[in-house]
Amino acid sequence: MTQLLPNYLAGQWQTGTDAGTTLRDPVLGTDLVRVSSAGLDLAAGFDHARRVGGPALRALSYAQRAALLGRVAEVLQANRDAYFEIATANSGTTQTDSAIDIDGGIFTLSYYARQGQKLGDGHYLPDGDDVRLAKDEAFQTRHIQTPLRGVALFINAFNFPSWGLWEKAAPALLSGVPVVIKPATATAWLTQRMVADVIEAGILPPGALSIVCGSPAGLLEAVAGFDLVSFTGSTDTAATIRMNDNVARQHVRINAEADSLNSAILGPDATPGTPAFDLLVKEVVREMTGKAGQKCTAIRRIFVPESVADAAAEAIAAQLARIKVGNPRNPEVRMGSLASHAQQRSVLEGLAVLQRDAETVYAGNPADLIDASADVGAFVMPHLLRVRDADTNQTVHDHEVFGPVATLVPYRDEAHAVALAQRGLGSLVSSLYGDDPQWLGRMAVALADTHGRVHVITPAVGKTHTGHGNVMPMSVHGGPGRAGGGEELGGMRALALYHRRTAVQAHTDVLGALPA
């Protein structure tokens, strides 16, 4: 029988009390490891994090906690090769796609380690200038942000077992808040191994970092009023979390990143043969096939002027035909499998829904798989769809397929393009392609209220932009409406989620005597 991975809770390694769930190689179909959370005393584990981990972290200054993050990044860097092996086996990703997750997580940790040093030796954050409250200038108010005294519970998605952990944990730990990680079961191995390496290194104070692998049952019942739940996943699950009796009754703070029908929009000046047109084609193909389309930020809808719809369809299809799909252990392969057979079924079912109202422009042939079997592996070939009437087709704006699938949608004019993008009801990101600063500027502002990020690609940044789907720690990650309404990263803005803002009203002498 395969190894049962232990959980780390209440300062000790604990294995679940049942046989657990088996994690499998989505390419080869072989059993890897098992995970189980059965029998764990979650309440005791959360209490330990609050009583032991929280005070120990808060006793350190921001700069001291930043130094710990730097040491964590060093440990992860030293074990990087092992992480790539696990990612290939458990997620079916190529080396390039694994790097997005693994190196992205390490980079984010290192970024917050550097930024945290700038916060110095303080134990809370100032928030704006002092403001006079009365005619007497001596009585004023000062706003400060102090770290939450609870625990941060992270319920993460399957697609980024490394980055999804560290992009949340870095600002939380820097803020002085202990974390409990619940990785998605299908790809939990990498997350568990990273946490195990950090725990073994003895870098963080006891109780600062915990992990629960397996069933999420009981987690929401273990949180308390000063805790925080940060979730990445489906809109339905996010709603379930918000409606949980314990979460609602105790007014637990919630941050959610949910479904997102992200878009790419080609400007009217970007006609076939122009650099901007080629940039859209390149980015669409990269987003459709990177991590087999399993990114919350991947392009799902492609809006192009009606006059170039045929040319765009032909160009994207031609590039997709060059993508080699198969076993990621083969260096020729550019796209691996989906993360699990359950995910494969979900994508195929979603694809069938879209195909009811859209024609298929391109579909890869499973017979072309390299070093892999379509009968064994969790593969879905790239699919490009197209709708003819953008106004009557609502399915493309309602239904996200979390895989290598995107739909081409024609638009008439600028206002029409904005309206179509907004029919996604809130997205993480939209990208614009063109070389007309005036059009791009208007579009960026018009899209801002319904998108967490607007990524503008012109020929001037064609070789240097960070990518439509790449989430950088310097920029806000999140989106309104259907995208969950949450907000993460954005440099030091990320720390606000893990702090409580308070107004201190007092004589200026008292305000001047507040400890650092």
Those residues whose C-beta lies under 8 Å from the C-beta of residue 475, and which sit 6 or more positions away, are 453, 489, 490, 491
pLDDT of residue 259: 86
How many angstroms separate the CA atoms of 478 and 453, rounded?
8
Across residues 127-145, what is the average pLDDT? 94
**Per-residue confidence band for 135, with pLDDT thresholds at 50, 70 and 90:** confident
The single residue of 167, 213, 287, 296 carrying the catalytic annotation is 296
Across residues 327-340, what is the average pLDDT? 97
Considering the domain boundaries, does residue 31 fall inside one? no
For residues 244 and 273, membership in a common domain is answered with no
Q: Mean pLDDT of all residues in the chain?
A: 96
For residues 181 and 153, membership in a common domain is answered with yes
262-266 vs 299-305, strand pairing mode: parallel
For residues 73 and 164, membership in a common domain is answered with yes
* pLDDT tens per residue, range 163-192: 999 999 999 999 999 999 999 999 999 999
Those residues whose C-beta lies under 8 Å from the C-beta of residue 330, and which sit 6 or more positions away, are 370, 371
* pLDDT tens per residue, range 462-502: 999 999 999 999 999 999 999 999 999 999 999 999 999 99
**Per-residue confidence band for 1, with pLDDT thresholds at 50, 70 and 90:** confident
The single residue of 167, 257, 283, 487 carrying the catalytic annotation is 257
- Residue 381, classed as helix, strand or coil, is coil
Q: C-alpha angle 429/432/433, rounded to 5°?
A: 145
Across residues 278-300, what is the average pLDDT? 97
Considering the domain boundaries, does residue 326 fall inside one? yes
pLDDT of residue 344: 97
pLDDT of residue 310: 97
pLDDT of residue 143: 97
* pLDDT tens per residue, range 409-443: 999 999 999 999 999 999 999 999 999 999 999 99
For residues 169 and 237, membership in a common domain is answered with yes
Whether 213 is catalytic: no
Considering the domain boundaries, does residue 15 fall inside one? no
pLDDT of residue 98: 97
For residues 193 and 308, membership in a common domain is answered with no
Share of the chain above pLDDT 90, in %: 97
pLDDT greater than 80 at residue 337 = yes
* pLDDT tens per residue, range 352-385: 999 999 999 999 999 999 999 999 999 999 999 9
Across residues 18-45, what is the average pLDDT? 96
pLDDT of residue 90: 97
For residues 229 and 134, membership in a common domain is answered with yes
Considering the domain boundaries, does residue 71 fall inside one? yes
Across residues 27-32, what is the average pLDDT? 96
For residues 236 and 289, membership in a common domain is answered with no
For residues 399 and 503, membership in a common domain is answered with no
The structural domain count of the chain equals: 2
Q: First vs last Cα of the chain: how many Å apart?
A: 54
pLDDT of residue 136: 85
For residues 224 and 137, membership in a common domain is answered with yes
Considering the domain boundaries, does residue 181 fall inside one? yes
Considering the domain boundaries, does residue 2 fall inside one? no
Across residues 271-285, what is the average pLDDT? 98
**b/e code 329-349 from CB counts within 10 Å (16+ = b):** eeeebbbbbbbbbebbebbee
pLDDT of residue 126: 94
For residues 299 and 213, membership in a common domain is answered with no
Considering the domain boundaries, does residue 129 fall inside one? yes
Question: What range defines the domain where residue 189 resides?
Answer: 42-258+488-512
For residues 273 and 252, membership in a common domain is answered with no
pLDDT of residue 390: 87
For residues 355 and 503, membership in a common domain is answered with no
Considering the domain boundaries, does residue 10 fall inside one? no
Q: What is the CATH number of the domain that holds 199?
A: 3.40.605.10
* pLDDT tens per residue, range 212-262: 999 999 999 999 999 999 999 998 999 999 999 999 999 999 999 998 999
CA dihedral in degrees (73, 79, 82, 84; nearest 10)? 30
Q: What is the CATH number of the domain that holds 420?
A: 3.40.309.10
Taking phi first (over 0 means left), then psi (-120 to 50 degrees means alpha), and beta for anything else, what does residue 308 get?
A: alpha
**Per-residue confidence band for 516, with pLDDT thresholds at 50, 70 and 90:** confident
Those residues whose C-beta lies under 8 Å from the C-beta of residue 492, and which sit 6 or more positions away, are 115, 119
